[in-house]
């Protein structure tokens, strides 16, 4: 599945909910279902700067695809990173770097987050793209 197809799937899922309380619950559920990151990757190198809560992201390249794992100490943030992992995991570097992120606005995520969480979201995306750039040359 392409990044665009996954994003469209997420937009469709969010459209099923009537209000933002239901969407928050859905985001929290996504976080609860996020596969656990190996404790060895919960390091300062993998922590996302600019997040109010602690968020760790680890990336590995297998063949030409990058897989991501993540965790957070906050349930809503864990759900947000789960959405990003779903979009970017098992994609190649070029597609990750060129990904259009307008689906975040389509689902209304940024406008329903506090300013610090919205900044954290931007930092998460930046970190994922930095990993993609770094692994592109390997």
DSSP-derived secondary structure for 24-58:
HHHHHHHHHTSPPPPGGG-SGGGBPTT-SS-EEEE
Active site residues: 51
CA distance 51 to 58: 16
Helix (H, G, I), strand (E, B) or coil at 79: helix
């Amino acid at each position: 599945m392409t990044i665009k197809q996954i994003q469209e799937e997420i937009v469709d899922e969010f459209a099923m909910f009537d209000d933002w309380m239901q969407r928050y619950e859905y985001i929290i559920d996504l976080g609860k279902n996020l596969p656990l990151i190996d404790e060895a990757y919960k390091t300062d190198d993998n922590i996302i700067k600019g997040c109010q809560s602690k968020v760790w992201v680890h990336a590995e390249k297998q063949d030409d695809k990058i897989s991501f794992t993540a965790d957070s100490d906050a349930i809503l943030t864990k759900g947000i990173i789960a959405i990003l992992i779903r979009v970017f995991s098992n994609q190649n570097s070029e597609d990750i770097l060129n990904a259009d992120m307008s689906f975040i606005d389509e689902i209304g995520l940024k406008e329903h987050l506090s300013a610090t969480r919205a900044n954290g979201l931007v930092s998460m995306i930046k970190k994922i793209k930095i990993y993609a750039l770094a692994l592109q040359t390997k």
